[in-house]
Structure 1
Amino acid sequence: MKGFDPRTSFGYETSQNYDAHPLGDEEDTVGFLAGLADGGDALEFAVGTGRIALPLREAGVRVDGVELSQDMVDRMREKPGGDRIEVTMGDMSQVTTGRAYGLVYLVFNTIGNLLTQDDQVRCFENAARHLTDDGVFVIECRVPTAPARPDHRYVDVERLDVDGVGLGVGRYDPVTQVLDLNHIRLGADGLAFNPIRLRLAYPPEFDLMARIAGLRLRDRWGGWHGEPYTAASGRHISVYERARD
């Protein structure tokens, strides 16, 4: 995407509007993760504004975070309890907190923000470095649909209101597996753009990344309630553990 700058895609404006439209699965996500943490500590890669970390902390799990955007962390600090999350600033595929955790997690397609396969492998390796011997690494990610679109291009109607519409305009490169996506809002108050780039991968590729990092798949679900993962699933929640001899 010409002119895209990943350093500003989660800058001040995004941080101020990030929580305006909750996904609605926060409670389910927290319940699932709290069960896996089982009283131990957790680390969230790309902790952002604390959408998951803060309620998970309220559920009794001590949560640390890794985050690239200072603006997103500043927004979290403005929320009740936001000062209780210890955050290490930097790239989630590289930086370390110096601690080990029973749970490391990365939700809402965020591994796609790493735009090369090498960086995504390094993310798995970094997660493995932060795990206790019996710890687990959890990824939530949508199953890609862009590769199946005609000509790898599409326009989706994401919102349709009386006073405006929201469109998702995407273009997928099958060579790099990178999706250029712009969420466009047209309304009486003007025009707004929210561009993002994501490297898409299917679950078997993540499983291979895990093997490279010394991990293996323990469970895979189609939702936070333990729904079976099938060919019809729109997303997967994959749980990895250390590979055993």
Structure 2
Amino acid sequence: MTDQLNDEDGFFGDAVAARYDDPASAMFQPKAVNSAVDLLAELAGDGRALELGVGTGRIALPLSQRGVPVHGIDLSRAMVARMRDKPGGDSIGVTIGDFATTRVDGTFSVAYLVFNTIMNLTTQEAQVACFRTAAAHLEPGGCFVIEVMTPELRSLPTGQNVVPFHTSPTKWAFSIYDVATQAMSSNYVQVVEGRGECRSVPFRYVWPAELDLMAQLAGLRLRERWDGWTREPFTGESAQHVSIWEKPAN
């Protein structure tokens, strides 16, 4: 078994960064990437974009290629190094730090968190701080965008706290929920050449209404909420949402 936690890079050290970019994953499919970039480029307009948790540049690089200046904040030097190795990676300014509290110079038309990254902040306090950090970077009329899953509590069988999301002869993945604290973890068990590996990443799941309250505390107001990047209606059956909060122009 392996211990994935690296003091410098958190849960996204060299081993995770080396295999993070998985072309078979749905999040790396051109349709998923292009839909996100289309909306973010529209919101950025002629301004700049700030990505909280920029990682390996899955969204930042194609957004930059659209002509939008992008700056990223990330705790993991290993993930950022992967981005730097890609074409155009040197064009993205990056500040190493906790995206919940790290401040950078200047203002932005749009700040964004994609693919459940808000849940990497494992306390309500940190999530509230993140909204305040985003709001502080936005120019008047600017937008804060979050893509995040809807908590899967309806999938929990009565009396159980585990939701599996991948099974195969050599790999198993499942989420563990604590409904009393909103703590959860994604857990991965894999057998490679007869050797078992285990990785667990903690999260804090968060409800749309809770996010709206965090936005209100940061001086933002809800502008749009969709099922996804292509702007389908958000409903009670939606497994995820893309939400946009706006900083008042005056």
TM-score (norm: length of structure 1): 0.91
141, 145, 156: which one aligns with 2:164: 156
- Residues matched between the structures, number: 240
% identical aligned pairs: 42
Query: Which residue in 2 is equivalent to 1:51?
Result: 58
Q: Structure 2: which amino acid aligns with 1:69?
A: S
Uncovered stretches (5+) of structure 1, i.e. residues with no partner? none
192, 197, 201: which one aligns with 1:196: 201
Query: Which residue in 2 is equivalent to 1:133?
Result: 140
Backbone CA RMSD of aligned residues: 1.9
CA distance in 2, matches of 1:213, 1:59: 29
What SS class does the counterpart of residue 232 from structure 2 fall into? coil
Shift of 1:172: 1.3
Task: Judge which range, 96-105 or 183-192, deviates more.
Answer: 183-192
Query: Which residue in 2 is equivalent to 1:240?
Result: 245
Q: Give deviations 1:5-59, integer Å, cap 9, x for gaps.
A: 4744100011110002442211111111111111211000000010110011011
TM-score (norm: length of structure 2): 0.90
Contact 2:150/2:207, CA 8 A, preserved across alignment: yes
CA distance in 1, matches of 2:239, 2:177: 18
Contact 2:170/2:192, CA 8 A, preserved across alignment: yes
Q: Structure 2: which amino acid aligns with 1:64?
A: H
What SS class does the counterpart of residue 92 from structure 1 fall into? coil
Contact 2:49/2:69, CA 8 A, preserved across alignment: yes
CA distance in 1, matches of 2:129, 2:177: 23
CA distance in 2, matches of 1:36, 1:155: 35
What SS class does the counterpart of residue 21 from structure 2 fall into? coil
Matched, 1:170 2:178: no
User: For 1:53-202, what aligned pairs fall within 5 Å after superposition?
Assistant: 53-146=60-153, 149-150=156-157, 151-160=159-168, 164-186=169-191, 188=193, 190-202=195-207
Query: Which residue in 2 is equivalent to 1:29?
Result: 36
Task: Judge which range, 176-185 or 118-127, deviates more.
Answer: 176-185
Query: Which residue in 2 is equivalent to 1:205?
Result: 210
What SS class does the counterpart of residue 13 from structure 1 fall into? helix
CA distance in 2, matches of 1:132, 1:200: 28
9, 13, 16: which one aligns with 2:15: 13
